[in-house]
Amino acid sequence: MLRIGLTGGMGAGKSTVSKVLAQLGAVIVDADAIAREVVEPGTPGLASLVTAFGDDLLRPDGTLDRAALAAKAFADPESTKKLNAIVHPLVGARTAELIDGAPADAIVVQDIPLLVEGKLGAFFNLVIVVWVDAEERVRRLVEFRDIPESDARARIAAQATDDQRRAAADVWLDNSGEPGSLDSVVRKLWDERLVPFERNVRERIASQYLPEIVPANHEWPAQAARLVARLRAVCGDKVTRIDHVGSTAAGTEAQDVIELQITTANQEAAKQLVEPLAAAGFPQIEAGNYGSADPGRPANVDVRVGE
């Protein structure tokens, strides 16, 4: 199974990308849809919201008035925090149920609006960010979703900045063009990266590549940081440190391969990393050396025993 995190600012067009991926065969797990499900009439989630924000959140038929909730929950950081504390655990439990039910060879795309804010990127094989300029997003929200401009701006301001999203993005999709213009880009991403990535993870195969000498790339540190975060999430307390090493760490002309080094306390701990690393997309090539299964980001991981 390959797990993809899909995110972007409100009004950026995640649903457009999600629909194309669904047509191609992805299993879509939509956090917004789940968030609506867990606060339907009669659920503990809706009862908790009423307790926290007042019974004027309810329409006459007993359903949640989302506009009324938004006006209260996004009014200030503390209210937003209160909302998230109620809804996020419920969404997480339901999400786990859906993922557990997906086929072993599935490409699972989790559409999560607050992925960056929640610092969840390390738990995915890849993070896709859909981007549109903030002013254009405001226009779309007002024009197409009938959201008051002040509300749209407040909700956008409560979310991550473009710089924060860019730091989290393995794939950056610019959706500022005409409707449908992104479809071919998403299809190419599916065919050339996601499908072979899933296959490589399932078959425990490192992606083959011919490294080229290229000029220094200012994105190398951020790319390495994302991989380090994923390795930390996988390795847990089995490692003492994970470092970005080699020529890309030096920031000079180099082969375009991110080199990482994991240090473990002993040989037994190193042996225990073989399967977790493979499942996370870093299959073993030879003893102590692992390669990335991702055809879009060449990387090598060396595991050593040290202090």
Radius of gyration of the chain from its Cα atoms, rounded to whole angstroms: 21
* Residue 12 assigned to a binding site: yes
* Residue 95 assigned to a binding site: no
* Residue 181 assigned to a binding site: no
What is the distance, to the nearest Å, from the Cα of residue 135 to the centroid of all Cα atoms in its chain?
24
Closest to 278 in 3D by CA, of 266, 292, 265? 292
**How many C-beta neighbours within 10 Å does residue 203 have?**
10
Closest to 281 in 3D by CA, of 210, 200, 209? 200
Q: Which residue has the tokens 């080199």?
A: 259
Rounded distance between C-alpha atoms, residue 95 and residue 104, angstroms:
16
Structure-token pair, residue 182: 């992104």
At position 213, the amino acid (one-letter code) is I
Termini Cα distance of the chain: 34
Q: Which residues are annotated as a binding site for ATP?
A: 11-16
Residues in binding site = 11-16
